[in-house]
Amino acid sequence: MINLRTQREIIKLQDAAKISALALQVAGELCKPGVTTWEIDKAVEKFIISQKAEPSFLNYQGFPASSCISVNDTVIHGIPSKDIVLKSGDIVSVDVGAFYNGYHGDNAYTFKVGEVSKELEKLLETTKNALYSGISEAIVGNRIGDISSAVEKTVEVCGYGVVREFVGHGVGKNLHEDPEVPNFGMAGKGPRLAAGMVIAIEPMINQGSGDIVRLADGWTIKTADRSPSAHFEHTVLVSKSGPVILTKP
Ligand code: MG
């Protein structure tokens, strides 16, 4: 079932999304050489709790941290660790959500550590563009497939691989709700978008093939060919006056 949110709920979602966006900013400021992903996670957690919110991801289906931090060939669900030390040239995808007043926010960004290669710059730019082309299709009367197709078209011209096993989703009282928002598909297909729908759009794009593997820890998702991967996400409200990005600091 796809939930349509009332004005009162939208205000609460906006608050949760704002805390999520600020938490992502805290993470971004720490993506520097010599910093561990554990330190970043702890700073994110401390910030979310300081806002009287709860980290949405902590203990979600048993996830052991407050944020997913995925370096280079890790696509998503990287577990923060004292053993993962960032170095110049890395790319770091941080995915974080906050639960506040009964509602969740969810967002992700791939940060650069120091200087990164031109190839990586292009992967990040293209994935970010794919997110925004998807968002621009989040219009009343459109269908989910319009978002999916816009994302896919933006990245396929570069020969990048779209991860198909993980998709965007509705956001609300639960972190993951209907509908699914794939990063591939056909325009004009899928559920119709209505005012009050709140969805997380989140392209996960690999420099090589879209194939992935799961590590033995049960969480970490890496690219099968070990090529680097990027991930950008916003929580977006479908409104009569167009798409509204809720995850803004
Ligand atoms: Mg998400």
Q: Are strands 161-162 and 204-206 parallel, antiparallel or unpaired?
A: antiparallel
Residue 71: φ, ψ to 5° = -100, 135
> What distance in angstroms lies between residue 107's CA and the mean position of ligand 1's atoms?
6
Distance 227 CA to ligand 1 centre (A): 22
Residue 46 CA to ligand 1 center (angstroms) comes to 21
To the question of domain 7-245 being in CATH 3.20.20.10, the answer is: no
**Tokens representing 47?**
């910030």
Distance 239 CA to ligand 1 centre (A): 20
Q: For 150-205, write each residue's pLDDT tens digit.
A: 999 999 999 999 999 999 999 999 999 999 999 999 999 999 999 999 999 999 99
Task: Please state, in angstroms and as integers, the Cα–Cα distance from residue 229 to each residue in 58, 64, 74, 129, 192, following that order.
Answer: 23, 22, 7, 15, 30
Task: Report if pTM > 0.95.
Answer: yes
How many Å apart are CA 77 and CA 66, to the nearest integer?
11
pLDDT attached to residue 239: 98
Q: Which whole number is the average pLDDT over 64-71?
A: 98
What is the Å distance from ligand 1's center to 190 Cα?
Answer: 19
Residue 119 class from Cβ within 10 Å (0-12 exposed, 13-18 middle, 19+ buried)? exposed
Check pLDDT > 90 for residue 95: yes
Residue 97: per-residue pLDDT: 98
Alpha carbon distance 182, 148 (integer Å): 5
Percentage with pLDDT > 70 across the chain = 100
Task: Quote the mean pLDDT of the chain.
Answer: 98
Distance 141 CA to ligand 1 centre (A): 23
pLDDT confidence of residue 115? 96
CA pair distance 106, 3, nearest whole angstrom: 17
> In this predicted model, what pLDDT tens digit does every residue of 134-153 receive, in sequence order?
999 999 999 999 999 999 99
First to last CA, the chain: 29
Q: What pLDDT score does 249 carry?
A: 87
Give the model confidence (pLDDT) of 20-58 as tens digits: 999 999 999 999 999 999 999 999 999 999 999 999 999
What span, in angstroms and rounded, lies between the C-alpha atoms of 57 and 171? 13
CA of 185 to the centre of ligand 1 (A): 18
**Domain definitions of the chain by residue range:** 7-245
